[in-house]
Each structure stands twice: as C-alpha cells, then as structure tokens.
Structure 1
Amino acid sequence: MGGSAVLAIDQGTTNSKAVLVAADGAVLATGSAPVGLSTPQPGWAEQDAEDIWQSVLQAVSSCMTSAGAVEVVGIALSTQRESVVGWDGSGQPVGPVIGWQDVRTTSWCSSLPSDVDVLVRSRTGLRVDAMFSAPKLHWLLEHFQADQVGTVDSWLNHRLTGCREHLTDAGNASRTLLYDVLDLSWSDSLLKAFDVPRSVLPEVRASNAGFGTTYGVPGLRDGVPIVAVLADSHAAMYGQGCVRPGMIKATYGTGSSVMTPVEAFVADGCTLAWLTDEPIYALEGNIVSSGAALAWTASLLGLPDVGALVELAAAVPDAGGVVLVPALAGLGAPHWDRNARAALTGMSSSTTPAHVARACVDAVAHQICDITDTIPGTLSSLRADGGATVSDLLMQTQADLLGHPVEAADVAEISALGTAELAWTTLGEATAWAETRPTRLFEPTLDAATRATRRAAWADAVTAIRTRP
C-alpha cells in the first residue's frame, strides 16, 4: 500500500478501534477489538484497565497487519470521556476502571453542599452528577492507593509512552469537574471540594500540543509522536465539521452526546470541546441510555441483537401509542434526575412486541429532541454519527420528531477521523474532510400536528417518572 498515515486510536465503551488515515482523509486500514464491561452491583459499571490496553494493542496489530507498508507519522487518540483509572508507580492498575455510566456516587453527590454545585457550574459549565469524573475519583482514592489517576486518554497515553508520561488534553480534563475551563487549569477550589489531590492528576495540555512519543509498544516503532488527543464526542464534532453555532452533531453510542459550538462560555450545559490556539466551547447534553436502551429492549423481547429489534420495529408504522422512557440509570440531560426509573406506558390489548420495539427506537430520537429543544437559536442542521446511525428507521424517526433534516455520516469511524484530522492539521496538512464526506440525508415526513402529539405524549411519560421537578 505504501505512503504515510496517522494512526488514530479510538477507545470506546464497548470496543477499541485503530484506523490508519492518509493526509486526504482516506481510510487505509482499520482494526478493532472488543472491551468487556461488568456490573458487579446495580448502578455500577466497571472495566479492566489492562483489558482496555490489550484491546488497543489488538486493534493496532490488526490494523497494521492489514495495512502493509505504511509509515506512521503520528498518533491521534480519541477516548471515552468521564471514566477514571488509577495506577501505581510501575504503571499497574490498582482498581477497576469506573465507567462514565456508573452511578455509585449518586447519593454522595446529593450530599454535597449546594454551593459546590454553584462553583462547579460557574467554573466548568457542568453540574455535580455521578456521570462526571470527580465523584468517581473521590471514590477510587478512598478505596485504592493510587500514585496516578486520570481519564482513559491519560491511561492510554501513559502506556503508549512506556509509562513515561502523565498527560491529558484540556477537553478531557473539562469533563472531570476539576478543571477551570476559563482559567484553563486545575482549580484549587474544585480539587478541595471533591478531595482530590493535585499531585495524582495529569498535566493538562492543549489538544494538539503533543503528548510524548511511543516507547515499547508492540507493532509500532519507538519515537512516533502522539500528536493530538480529543475526547470521543468532541472528536466527533470536529470530524463532523460542526464549527458554527446552529450546527449540531449527535453521536449515537451506548449513550448519546448532542453538541453545538458556542461563541463564548456559558455557565450551564457548556463544555470545553478542545483547546488549540484558543479554547472552543460547546453546549452539550448527555443522554445516558441510547444504544444501551436498544440492546436492553432487544434482550427484554428475547431478540438476538439490536439489528433484530430495529427490523421488528419496522414491521409497524408507529408505536401504536406506546411510549418507552429508558431511564435505565436515571435521566441525563436536560432532566438530570438520576433517581428516575424506566417506564413503558400506553399499552393496550392490541400492543405487540413490534410496538414496544418501535417505542424504543422513538425513545432514542425523543431524547435527542429534548436536548435540541433547549439549544438557543435556529437549528441549521443535525449531523449524526455513531453505531446506531446505520439504521435508516432511526434516522428517519429522528428527522420526523425533530422536524429538521438529518445528515448521517456514512462512515463508522467519525471520532477517529476527527482526531486524525486535528493531527494532520497540526502536522501542517490542509484538511476539510467533512465537506466532501458522503452522507445519507433524511428529510422529515411527519406532519406538524402528529409530531406535536407524539412529543407531548413523550413529555407526559417523562414527567410521570420524574422524582423532582
């Protein structure tokens, strides 16, 4: 094959991917490996840090083997975000990876003084919630002796560099509740509030500032620069070319992330997407159960997989009045009620499994709409990515309930491509890949009255399960 490429490593909740990307955005080779997830107690979600690292090595090996003679000129890293890892001085994990969807710290978060939430919102744009890293780090440090801690990007960077670096990028740091996105530094006040010592945290760098070089990584030569690091949802927005307010990207994964750039930081629902020459802020809403809801419903109905669920859902023209609210771990944005529980309403004697399946597909789309409804200004486009976007039914349902066109990226590696694009830009190559990438366009077909009726039924069902206003 020949030529040079950036090796983009995309480490997600359920798998790790490796993608070799040429300077023009062409994908030269890919590799992937699954990652396990355990739930030792209700509401707990854990992974094995060593398993994550081995899955990355497997994905890289598969990718490099299929690529042939390609020179890797840089590495780009995209990772799951709020999950946390702790390790000792020799680089060995000291406990489980506590996953972003883990809610074991919900009660502890509720016990914090209200002024902590005020401080968090004013300095991070987020809110105190068990999804974010700081409560997880507090728990981890209470139960395990760790010399260094961090999010998954810092763990992989540590291993890629032969355990010589302890670094993170500003976008990942912004998801911890410990990083001041205005001062662009760890906040002493936030560290004190969550009782996390600065000494165990990584150094924060700009997203394209360089993160050391490879050392002792099987299948890679020593000295390959790690050029760029982005959180996966941020990488997807970068890869989707969403650079102006009103351009919204929605990532459909285990959960969902809905993001749009903003011109300036606002202290509610804002995040730092990336830091290059200047910080780029974005409004974001996080949905806890999207792909997870599809998988759960498939299992509930005795179906082999999500594909079978979607096929069953397509057998009926609508959900027949059935509404499923998949609050399997509570509700995320914009409701933020972790004590809410899932509900299935509107059933009658004529309800079939197909109606329940269709209600689950609807639920994924409704949750996206709940967030877009809160974004100020005019929606110019919704650019969709993630595994679930392979479903034309889901994408059409999204356009219908949204009342706006949906552009689904016709590639499976959008987060990897986003961070690879940042890496190539940093290496001096001109890139504008999103404008030439093939997409599938879905125009809304639902009339306004039917759309309003279905959205109202959804809102009523959500209100019914809420435990607080």
Structure 2
Amino acid sequence: MPSFIGAIDNGTTSSRFLIFDENGNLVIGHQLEYRQIFPHPGWVEQDPMDILGSVFTCIEGALRKFELQGNDVKDLRGIGITNQRETAVVWDRTTGRPLHNAIVWSDTRTQDVVTRLCETSEKGVDALKDICGLPLTTYFSAVKLRWLLEHSSEVKEAHDNGNMMFGTVDSWLIYNLTGGKEGGVHVTDVTNASRTMLMDIKTLKWSEECLKFFGVNADILPEIKPSSTHFGKIQHPTLDRLQDVPITGCLGDQHAALVGQHCFQVGEAKNTYGTGCFMLFNTGTKITPSNNGLLTTVGYQFEGEPAAYALEGSIAAAGSAVKWLRDNLGVIRTAEEINDLAAHVDSNGGVVFVTAFSGLFAPYWKPDVRGSIVGISQHTTKHHLARATLEATCFQTRAILDAMNADSGLPLKTLRVDGGLSNSDTCMQLQANILGLEVARPLMRESTALGAATAAGVHLGVGIWKGGFKAFAERAHKAKEVLEIFNPKINDEERAKEYELWQMAIDATMQFKPKRNESWES
C-alpha cells in the first residue's frame, strides 16, 4: 500500500498543508493567508484563533484534493509541523482560549524592555548568550513574554496563579490538534525552544537562570522534545478523518528548511527567502559561539541522536519588502512582477534600499533603525527601485556570509536556496553576483514543508523511510539531486564597488534614528 506524510506549514502570513509521498515528492497542498494586525508602527500581532482556523481549513482543503486524486486518507501515516519561530502565544489552561493576540517575531515594541534588561547585566546585550546562544533583542520570544507580563493584567494574573500556558506557534497548534483543553499535549521541540532565550543549548533543557532573568514561572512552559519523535495523536472533532494520526515531526521553519535541503554535513548551508530571509550553517555537534553578530542555535535533533547545531543569520525583511512595493506603493500588482521589472535595467542606477522595516537583524542588530532609500535622482525609475529591493536581501546575505566564514573558519562554496523569493531568477543571479559564489536552487522548492515531513517520516514508529535518520541522511548524501545553478557574472572589482555602496547606505541609515512621533500613527 502507498504511504504518505502530511506537513503543516505555518508561515508568517499564511498556513499550508502539504502531502508528500514515500519518495519525498509533493502530491498536493492547500494554502490560505490569514489576518495580520498592526496596532501601532513596529507592532505586529496575529489572532491565535485565526492561525488555528487557517490550519484546519488548509488540512480539509488538501485532503479533499488528495481524495479527488484517488488516494485514501487512511494511507497518511504521520504529520510533521513547521512554524514561524519566535512568535509568542499565551493561552488559558482552563478554557484553552488565547489570553492575548500573538506577538509576531518581527514586532519591535519591546525595545524599552530590551534596553532595561541589558542594563541589569554587566554583559549587556550578551547577558544570556553563554547559556542560550542568543543576544538580547526584540526578536526572541522571552522578551515578548516579559512585555505581556508587564502590560496585560490578564496575562500577569494567569501567570501568577498557574493558569497560563506559553509557547511558540508549534506548541499552540499541537496543543489544539491533540485535544486542547480536553487533554491537549503541551510540548515543543528543541529548535523552537532554542529561539525563546529560555533554553540552555548545552543541556537542551529550560534554564533556571534564564527563567529567573525574565521573571517567568517554569510551569507555563511546554515539554522540550527532539524534532523527530512522537508528540501526540490528533484528537479534534473538526479533523475526524485524521483521528489518531500521530504527529511525529516538529521544527521551526528555518530548521525544517535545513533538513529539507539535506544540509546534514558540517559546513553545508541554506538560505530561505521568505517574509524574512534566514541563513543556517551546519556546525554539527559542535556549539560554535559567534564573535561576528550571528546566532548560535540548535539545527535539529532526531530521536536517539545528538543535536546538530548551526550558526544563523537573520534578515527581517525580504519577501515582506516585495509585498510593501505591492500593497503600500502599488509599484507592482503581483509579487511575481518584480522579477521582470528588476530585469529591465542592468544596474540599480545608484539606488540602494535598506529595508529596515523592523530594524536590522544579523549581523548589525540595530532594532531602532528605520528603513531608507538613498541615491534617488531624476533618472530613477520603478525598475531601479525593484532591483534595489531584491539587492537589499542579497547584500544583507553577503554581510551574514562574511560573518559565517569568519566564525566557522570554513568558507562556503555553494549556497543552497529556497523560499518564495528564490523563484525569481533575477534575484538569484543578483545573489550569485554579490556573493561571488555558486547559488544552487532545487527543482522541488518546498524545502520547509519537506523538512517537517522528513522529520515525521524518519521516525521509526511511522517507518516510511526505513533505518531512521542516519540511514536517511546517508542516502540523501549519495543522491544525485537535480539543482539549478546560478554562477557569478561580474568580476571581483565590480562586486567590491557594489558592496561598498551598500555599506555606505547602511552607515547613513544608522545615523537616522528619529524619535517616535504620535502623529505618524494616525
């Protein structure tokens, strides 16, 4: 009988449910965007019930298409979950209902909290870095949780009386899928836990020191498990056809892409161009601290195996900058149009776009910086702006790669890419030019969902991919994967001039830090 694996993929702006066959081929999927809430400049929220509802709709939509193809839902052996990572969700233990809107990973309202916390430690921004591998910044979940405890009396009361549950989106989804208030499981995996600032990356357990630092009670936290293990069975009346199907995989989205791209060897790296852009570099079982503005994180962990670690560089705005051109400026009607628009010109015409909508992430870590477009002249057209938008992600990727080469001592030769923006041939050619490296794009680009499906499928209880993780990784290493290759088309001198222009724009942008003006919010 045929066997299939399902993957729930909750992204920043949409949810998807995809089904893969036993050869890792995508069979069918369903996608749905959900509401984004922007109460104030820099604030980004989501209704956890919207997230959950979108997942249910996608599952039902994909299963309907799956059956129309002549397949049987009973052949779905297991489900993996991948999710936007640092988004913080809090809910009531008794009712199972959210206590507040989820605060999204890109939200910057916590800058004052970060500043205050930095002042409490002699190490400042690196107060907990030796424990959790992360700097103090608005990016991570624990800072958002601290803000909620300080600004929501309902959240504070539930926390103090032991009636609150906290988690990233994976925990919220698994809790509801496995029964919610009627016995739902409260769990997470090591990759998502490593993004909270509350987990010790050496022991893979919640850190008492980190909990004390943020003033968080341990009883609100989920149990930490490997990325590929048995998380629970689906027990929800809305999903009657999936009752008792096991959830056996769970990874944060960027870690799932690392697995989906089969970056199992030390020194292999992938870059995912989604709402943001995220590069992960596999350092194996070695924890590599960064001295150049990168994050040390858990890459993945399969049951019975030691954790694999990674260096990560994060860019806050990639696909979201394209969406801004479409929705805010009306320069394009669809995201796909940016490829042809940018290809219409041979250069950016001196225009540089620093897309710091939520500040600058790695390796700069300047959350208070605003975006800027510099170098505009009467010669500037929408084509130059489109090209500069794509180049913004490519230049920031270059800055991250330089930092990774310095930290790891293993210069990268090939960058594997995936995510929506990687579909743009123009963007990928620009990336190859700016890096001076080969950029490799797989023909099957659903790397994030495939990673979640892989984690679920290699679990021995599911047994789609025999032999567990080690056997799967060995087969993947030997496989002749079909890749599209983009090679650099400019010389080192041209590359250096372009990057120098970007660095000048970064320097200018960092000087512009206006104080908050209430009139801007109207």
CA displacement 1:27-63 (0-9 Å, x = unmatched): 2221111121111111100001011011101111111
Q: SS state of the match for residue 236, structure 1?
A: helix
Does residue 245 in structure 1 map to residue 266 in structure 2? yes
CA distance, structure 1, for counterparts of residue 35 and residue 267 of structure 2: 37
Q: SS state of the match for residue 76, structure 2?
A: strand
Q: Which residue of 1 aligns with 2:398?
A: 369
Using the TM superposition, give the Cα deviation of residue 412 of structure 1 relative to its aligned residue in structure 2, in angstroms. Answer: 3.9
Contact map agreement 2:190 2:300 (CA 8 A) in 1? yes
Q: SS state of the match for residue 281, structure 1?
A: strand
Does residue 202 in structure 1 map to residue 219 in structure 2? no
CA distance, structure 2, for counterparts of residue 454 and residue 116 of structure 1: 34
Q: Which residue of 2 aligns with 1:302?
A: 331
Q: Which residue of 2 aligns with 1:99?
A: 104
Using the TM superposition, give the Cα deviation of residue 78 of structure 1 relative to its aligned residue in structure 2, in angstroms. Answer: 0.6
Counterpart residue identity of residue 425, structure 2:
D
CA distance, structure 1, for counterparts of residue 29 and residue 480 of structure 2: 20
Does residue 402 in structure 1 map to residue 435 in structure 2? yes
CA displacement 1:106-164 (0-9 Å, x = unmatched): 11101112346434210111111111000111122331334101000000000110122
Contact map agreement 2:42 2:109 (CA 8 A) in 1? yes
Q: Which residue of 2 aligns with 1:21?
A: 20
Q: SS state of the match for residue 384, structure 1?
A: strand
The count of residues paired between Structure 1 and Structure 2 equals 467
Contact map agreement 1:149 1:201 (CA 8 A) in 2? yes
Quick check: 374-383 or 173-182, which moved more?
A: 374-383
CA displacement 1:344-368 (0-9 Å, x = unmatched): 1122221222111111111111111
CA displacement 1:400-437 (0-9 Å, x = unmatched): 10101101122342111011112211134144458454
Quick check: 14-23 or 293-302, which moved more?
A: 293-302
Match of 1:326 among 348, 355, 373: 355
Using the TM superposition, give the Cα deviation of residue 292 of structure 1 relative to its aligned residue in structure 2, in angstroms. Answer: 1.0
TM-score using structure 1 length = 0.96
Q: Which residue of 1 aligns with 2:287?
A: 265
Q: Which residue of 2 aligns with 1:155?
A: 172
CA distance, structure 1, for counterparts of residue 443 and residue 106 of structure 2: 27
Ranges of 4+ aligned residues in structure 1 off by more than 3 Å: 114-119, 430-438
CA distance, structure 1, for counterparts of residue 511 and residue 203 of structure 2: 36
Contact map agreement 1:125 1:266 (CA 8 A) in 2? no
CA distance, structure 2, for counterparts of residue 300 and residue 84 of structure 1: 30
Using the TM superposition, give the Cα deviation of residue 283 of structure 1 relative to its aligned residue in structure 2, in angstroms. Answer: 0.2
Closer/same/farther in 2, CA of residues 367 and 118 from structure 1, 3 Å limit: closer
Listed as ranges, the gaps of 5+ residues in structure 2 are 159-163, 467-471, 513-522
Residues 3-402 of structure 1: matches in 2 within 5 Å? 3-68=2-67, 69-70=72-73, 71-88=75-92, 89-112=94-117, 113-114=120-121, 115=123, 117-142=125-150, 143=152, 144-145=154-155, 146=158, 147-163=164-180, 164-216=184-236, 217-263=238-284, 264-268=286-290, 269-276=295-302, 277-298=305-326, 299-300=328-329, 302-376=331-405, 377-402=410-435
Contact map agreement 1:332 1:338 (CA 8 A) in 2? yes
Closer/same/farther in 2, CA of residues 116 and 225 from structure 1, 3 Å limit: farther
CA distance, structure 1, for counterparts of residue 218 and residue 83 of structure 2: 22
Contact map agreement 1:213 1:226 (CA 8 A) in 2? yes
CA displacement 1:272-305 (0-9 Å, x = unmatched): 1122210110000110011111221343253223
Counterpart residue identity of residue 93, structure 1:
P
Contact map agreement 1:214 1:223 (CA 8 A) in 2? yes
Contact map agreement 2:126 2:134 (CA 8 A) in 1? no
Match of 1:426 among 455, 459, 473: 459
Quick check: 228-237 or 291-300, which moved more?
A: 291-300
CA distance, structure 2, for counterparts of residue 208 and residue 39 of structure 1: 35
Counterpart residue identity of residue 347, structure 1:
I
CA distance, structure 2, for counterparts of residue 360 and residue 23 of structure 1: 39
CA displacement 1:314-354 (0-9 Å, x = unmatched): 11111011111111111000000011121211222212221
Contact map agreement 1:153 1:168 (CA 8 A) in 2? yes
Counterpart residue identity of residue 260, structure 2:
G
Contact map agreement 2:127 2:136 (CA 8 A) in 1? no
CA distance, structure 1, for counterparts of residue 136 and residue 457 of structure 2: 36
TM-score using structure 2 length = 0.86
CA distance, structure 2, for counterparts of residue 195 and residue 183 of structure 1: 21
Contact map agreement 2:211 2:217 (CA 8 A) in 1? yes
Counterpart residue identity of residue 165, structure 2:
Q
Q: SS state of the match for residue 239, structure 2?
A: coil
Contact map agreement 2:89 2:101 (CA 8 A) in 1? yes
Using the TM superposition, give the Cα deviation of residue 182 of structure 1 relative to its aligned residue in structure 2, in angstroms. Answer: 0.5
Q: SS state of the match for residue 168, structure 1?
A: strand
Contact map agreement 1:116 1:193 (CA 8 A) in 2? no
Quick check: 228-237 or 374-383, which moved more?
A: 374-383
Q: SS state of the match for residue 28, structure 2?
A: strand
Contact map agreement 1:327 1:340 (CA 8 A) in 2? yes
Counterpart residue identity of residue 353, structure 1:
K
Q: SS state of the match for residue 20, structure 1?
A: strand
Counterpart residue identity of residue 169, structure 2:
V
CA distance, structure 2, for counterparts of residue 47 and residue 411 of structure 1: 30
CA distance, structure 1, for counterparts of residue 127 and residue 502 of structure 2: 33
CA distance, structure 2, for counterparts of residue 280 and residue 266 of structure 1: 11
Counterpart residue identity of residue 267, structure 1:
P
Quick check: 139-148 or 94-103, which moved more?
A: 139-148
CA distance, structure 2, for counterparts of residue 305 and residue 140 of structure 1: 36
CA RMSD in angstroms, aligned pairs only:
1.7
Using the TM superposition, give the Cα deviation of residue 64 of structure 1 relative to its aligned residue in structure 2, in angstroms. Answer: 0.7
CA distance, structure 1, for counterparts of residue 220 and residue 44 of structure 2: 23
Listed as ranges, the gaps of 5+ residues in structure 1 are none
Using the TM superposition, give the Cα deviation of residue 467 of structure 1 relative to its aligned residue in structure 2, in angstroms. Answer: 5.0
Counterpart residue identity of residue 320, structure 1:
G
CA distance, structure 1, for counterparts of residue 77 and residue 26 of structure 2: 15
CA distance, structure 2, for counterparts of residue 322 and residue 274 of structure 1: 39
Identical amino acids, percent of aligned pairs = 36
Q: Which residue of 1 aligns with 2:518?
A: none
